[in-house]
Amino acid sequence: MTSRLDYAHAAPEGMKALGVAHSYVAASGLGKALVELAYLRVSQINGCAYCLDLHTRALINEGFTVEKLALVSVWREAEALFSERERAALAWAETVTRVAETGVPDAEFAAVSTQFSEKELADLTIAIGLMNAYNRIAISFRATPAAVKRAGKV
């Protein structure tokens, strides 16, 4: 895969603005592991190789096991590996990412609201929206995953 455009160079102020949102989410109090888990699930749905590589590595650094990481995309079948809060975040990440299909049903909102305060839910939704934006940028401009670069395949 060949990179199409260095978007950080082409639009530094735009990327800086996204960085401000990223910093906000990081300081929101949701916890790095939970945010990274949501980022990973969004990136799986969107098929963003660059972000899958990045967030998988971040979750390994947060202590996630290979077994748990391998089952994120099928978390409902492996729910015993995920806390109630993680399952709620994963379900919310899925429905918000697929908003055009789901319309984000009231039942999904009610379920996630049992695990997150209003502020936490707003922050989680900001994180999900942010990762959807990053995925669209990375996919559109063919950002190269770090693993591919390290393998010398670029």
How many angstroms separate the CA atoms of 68 and 140, rounded?
29
> Does 2 score more than 90 pLDDT?
no
> Does 53 score more than 70 pLDDT?
yes
Q: What is the per-residue pLDDT for 4?
A: 87
On average, the pLDDT of the chain sits at 95
Q: What is the per-residue pLDDT for 149?
A: 84
How many angstroms separate the CA atoms of 37 and 64, rounded?
10
Other CB atoms within 10 A of residue 48 CB? 24
Model pTM greater than 0.85? yes
Residue labelled with tokens 């530094």: 12
How many angstroms separate the CA atoms of 115 and 84, rounded?
7
Residues 6 or more apart whose CB falls under 8 angstroms from that of 141 comprise 3, 4, 5, 6, 7
Residue labelled with tokens 């735009």: 14
Residue labelled with tokens 């978007």: 7
Instruction: Answer whether 46's CB lies under 8 Å from 135's CB.
Output: yes
Residue-wise pLDDT for 125-150, tens only, equals 999 999 999 999 999 998 888 888 88
Residue type, 154: V
How many angstroms separate the CA atoms of 98 and 148, rounded?
28
